[in-house]
A and B are shown apart, each in its own frame.
Chain A
Amino acid sequence: MIQFFHVSKRYPGGQTALDDITFDLPRGQFVFLTGASGAGKTTLLRMIFREEVPSAGQILVNGRNVSSIPASKIPYLRRTIGVVFQDFRLIARKTVFENVAYLPRVLGVDLQGQKRLAYLALRRVGLAQRLNAFPPELSGGEQQRVAIARALINEPEILIADEPTGNLDPDLSREILRLFLEVNLRGTTVILATHDRETIQRIGRRVLTLEQGRLAADQELVGTDPPVLDALAAAGEGPDPEDPQRSSGEPAAEEAGRSPEEIAD
């Protein structure tokens, strides 16, 4: 799915961001990317969606060498990758619906289709009732969930999250992580950059550790709390077994009898 072959990144000033990174992520894997600030996590993630190009080495995403694809093809690569940032990167002057429905609009989906897809994506993150709100009206956790809905709306093959819980309190962080795990259960490859060791140890999964631009460790951890989703479900916060798309504890009654169009309008 994602393969790095001896990838290095050196900036013109001589600073080395990444040094000889090699790894292989199979389809459907959940991977933590960790390391101290400045270790190169963000640079590595940006290379996957061609925001950065390596100074040396090759990166294959779905068999395509992302370093050599022409500029005109980059948007098509990015449409297969959902990206979530620590600072949400939502457009403040646009509604939640407009933010989330950006990609369907770019793809030429009609307005009703956009509303339906945005509704479904927002329902997965428990925000279907906030379609017409503007980002500044939302809490930090809600904004991050909107950003996740935007990343998920096109059912991406890869979901990249760069410190997605960095600005959130522990409860919201847990909620966001649960969303990523659920997305991964549906078959999406998830790469989550974080320096939160406690979360990594609790959840487990594969962990890539960067130190000063080098891949210091590539290990498989068994979480201290492995059946995280089961535990969350038992606590009433997990996905509704009756509705595989439902991901949050949002009361079903809120949406009962309302179509996506009614909610969006």
Chain B
Amino acid sequence: MKFFQAFRYFFREAAVNLLRGWKVSLLAVLTIAVSLFIGGAVLLVSGNLAASVERWRGEMRVVIYLRPDTSEAELRRLAAEAARAPGVTAVEPVTAKAARQRFQEIFPGLADLVAGWQEEPLPASLEIGLDPRTAAKRTTWLDGWRKRPEVTLVDDDREWLGQLETLVAVVRAVGLALVGGLLGAAIFTIASVIRLTAYLHHEETGIMRLVGATEFFIRGPFYAEGLLQGLIGGLLASGALFGVYQALHIRRQGSLFSSVLALDFLSPQQVAFLVLLGGAAGLIGAVASLRREEL
């Protein structure tokens, strides 16, 4: 039989079977949709989190806080020294006075806290920009600064960015494990549904075999049914994920949540991957269910 004709027949039969046993099929479709929804959510959150980490890495700074008695001349000398180091993209010396003024501008409600002191309450500092490509290699250089007597504290963005990266990896690993388990359950459900459908059509497949239908022709509609269930599940999951994303995005516009976790929706390739993953899971379920079946 010509392949195109065969596949048209398979999918027409599969569609009829899906409609006839829609309650059981719905169970399989929903199971796979739930697992793919969670998978998509993990992909969305971890993807946005990773993108944020990458963005912050581009804006990464190291702030070296100096002793309160550091003079302006000393500050400039240290700034010039820092600027000469490889991988340093920018150095901004911030005097104690400038630090106090910046605080008062950023937090006007707390301005009184830093007013009226005999000495400047905030330390002078060096705000150093690092090239993200070589930032990881600057640890020894920063350790050198930490040991210098004029330095009181080195605030290194790389530390919390590293922690965030670990968080992204944990989210991905937990998500993958969860999705793996749920997909396994979905495949099992689809396999059970297909096995049930095959059982209901036992007599029919016997007749097909008698008139000379090949195994490919007999099993094709069941494979197509599994594939369709998976694809529908994938489409439902993608649709639901987009709906939830839109709702959260609109409701929490401008918040940390939207800027970090739901900044961008999945790319078309990722959505296609989710749908195809559903289809593949459905097909695997169907093939597995009929692998040893004498239909």
Contact = CB atoms under 8 A, between A and B. Distances in A.
Interface in A158-187: none
B198 to A, nearest CB: 15
A80 to B, nearest CB: 8
A105 B9 contact: yes
Interface stretch (B86-94, B140-148, B209-217): B209-217
A110 interface: yes
Interface string A216-256: 00000000000000000000000000000000000000000
Interface in B1-20: 1-2, 5-6, 9
A89 B212 contact: no
B5 A110 contact: yes
A91 interface: yes
B80 interface: no
Contact-size category for A: 20 to 34
A91 B207 contact: yes
Nearest to A90: B207
A138 interface: no
A75 B213 contact: yes
Contacts of A145: none
A106 B204 contact: no
A103 B207 contact: no
Interface in B205-226: 206-215, 217
B210 A106 contact: no
Contacts of B206: 89
A106 B211 contact: yes
Nearest to A79: B212
Counting chain A CB atoms within 10 Å of each CB, the highest count among B206, B213, B215, B217 belongs to B213
A165 B70 CA distance: 113
B2 A106 contact: no
Contacts of A102: 207-208, 211, 213
B207 A106 contact: no
B129 to A, nearest CB: 69
Contacts of A105: 1, 5, 9
A108 interface: yes
Interface string B180-221: 000000000000000000000001101111111111010000
Given A89-B207, A102-B208, A75 B214 contact: yes
Nearest to B205: A91
A176 B6 CA distance: 34
B5 A106 contact: no
Question: For B207, B212, B214, which residue has the most chain A Cβ atoms within 10 angstroms?
Answer: B212
Contact of B210 (A72, A76, A83, A108): A83
B252 to A, nearest CB: 51
Contact of B212 (A51, A72, A78): A78
A76 B212 contact: yes
Interface string A91-119: 10000000000110111101000000000
Contact of B204 (A76, A78, A91): A91
Interface in A116-168: 150
Contact of A103 (B2, B204, B211, B215): B211
Interface string A22-65: 00000000000000000000000000010100000000000000
Contacts of A77: 212
B207 A107 contact: no
Contacts of B9: 105
Contacts of A90: 207
Nearest to A81: B212
A107 B1 contact: yes
Contact of A78 (B1, B203, B210): B210
Interface of B: 1-2, 5-6, 9, 203-204, 206-215, 217
Would you list the 5 A-B pairs with minimal beta carbon distance, nearest first? A79-B212, A108-B1, A78-B212, A75-B212, A108-B2
18 contacts: A49-B210, A72-B215, A75-B209, A76-B212, A77-B212, A78-B209, A78-B212, A89-B210, A91-B203, A91-B204, A91-B207, A102-B211, A102-B213, A105-B5, A105-B9, A106-B211, A108-B5, A110-B5
